[in-house]
C-alpha cells in the first residue's frame, strides 16, 4: 500500500513555472477559471457562480491534501505568484498506486507549452516521489487539446465508455487514458 506524505507541501519549480500550494488568497483567480465557459467546456462540472463557490473548491483542495486523497498545485509564472492554472492528482488509489490527473489553464496562457511543462514536472513527482505506478486521465473525447497533451506525454487510450456520464440532460462518452511508470 502506498504511503503518502504531502506535508510539507511539495513546491515544484520548472524553467518558467512555479507550482505551489493553493491558498484562499487565490480565490479570485480560481473563480475566473472555474466560471470561464471556454475553460470549463469539457470539464462537465457546474460553472462557479460566485466567489463562495470558488472558496468551497479551495477548501476541498486543502482538505484533500490534509487527508492525502489528492494534491493540486497552483500554476504560476516564476517571480509572479498569480495563479494562471491548476494541475493535480485526485482520486489517489493507494492500494493500486494509481491516481487521476486533472488540469486547467487560463486561455491567456494556452498554447505556449505551459501545461506541457507543468505536466512533465507533476508526472515526474508522481512517479518518483509519490511512487505511483500508473496515472489515469478521463477526458471528454471531444477535448482535442487535452487529448493532444496526453498523447504527447505517451498516455495511451485504454478504454472508451459510451454514454456513461450523465450531465445536464445528456449521456456523454468518456475516453480513459493511462500512463505507466515503466513508460517514463
Ligand X SMILES: CC(C)(COP(=O)(O)OP(=O)(O)OC[C@H]1O[C@@H](n2cnc3c(N)ncnc32)[C@H](O)[C@@H]1OP(=O)(O)O)[C@@H](O)C(=O)NCCC(=O)NCCS
Q: Which residues of the chain form contacts with ligand X (CB under 6 A)?
A: 39, 42-43, 103-105, 110-116, 139, 143-146, 148-149, 152
> Nearer Cβ to ligand X, position 8 or 15?
15
Tell me how far apart the alpha carbons of residues 175 and 164 are, in angstroms, rounded to a whole number: 10
Query: CB of 33: closest distance to ligand X in angstroms?
Result: 8
Query: CB of 78: closest distance to ligand X in angstroms?
Result: 16
- The answer to whether 61 and 102 are in contact (CB under 8 A) is no
- The neighbour count for residue 177, using CB atoms within 10 Å, is 21
Tell me how far apart the alpha carbons of residues 94 and 130 are, in angstroms, rounded to a whole number: 10
Tell me how far apart the alpha carbons of residues 7 and 32 are, in angstroms, rounded to a whole number: 28
- With a CB cutoff of 8 Å and minimum separation 6, the contacts of 56 are none
> Nearer Cβ to ligand X, position 2 or 35?
35
> Nearer Cβ to ligand X, position 42 or 90?
42
Query: CB of 46: closest distance to ligand X in angstroms?
Result: 15
> Nearer Cβ to ligand X, position 92 or 118?
118
Query: CB of 72: closest distance to ligand X in angstroms?
Result: 13
Amino acid at each position: 500500500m502506498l504511503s503518502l506524505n504531502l506535508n510539507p507541501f511539495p513546491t515544484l519549480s520548472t524553467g518558467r513555472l512555479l507550482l505551489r500550494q493553493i491558498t484562499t488568497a487565490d480565490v479570485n483567480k480560481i473563480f475566473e477559471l472555474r466560471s470561464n465557459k471556454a475553460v470549463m467546456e469539457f470539464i462537465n462540472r457546474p460553472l462557479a457562480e460566485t466567489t463562495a463557490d470558488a472558496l468551497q473548491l479551495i477548501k476541498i483542495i486543502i482538505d484533500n491534501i490534509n487527508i492525502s486523497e489528492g494534491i493540486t498545485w497552483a500554476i504560476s509564472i516564476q517571480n509572479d505568484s498569480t495563479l494562471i492554472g491548476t494541475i493535480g492528482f485526485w482520486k489517489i488509489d493507494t492500494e493500486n498506486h494509481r491516481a487521476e490527473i486533472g488540469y486547467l489553464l487560463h486561455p491567456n496562457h494556452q498554447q505556449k507549452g505551459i501545461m506541457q511543462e507543468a505536466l512533465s514536472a507533476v508526472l515526474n513527482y508522481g512517479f518518483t516521489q509519490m511512487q505511483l505506478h500508473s496515472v489515469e486521465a478521463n477526458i471528454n473525447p471531444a477535448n482535442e487539446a487535452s487529448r493532444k497533451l496526453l498523447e504527447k506525454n505517451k498516455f495511451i487510450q485504454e478504454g472508451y465508455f459510451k454514454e456513461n456520464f450523465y450531465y445536464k440532460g445528456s449521456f456523454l462518452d468518456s475516453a480513459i487514458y493511462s500512463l505507466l511508470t515503466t513508460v517514463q
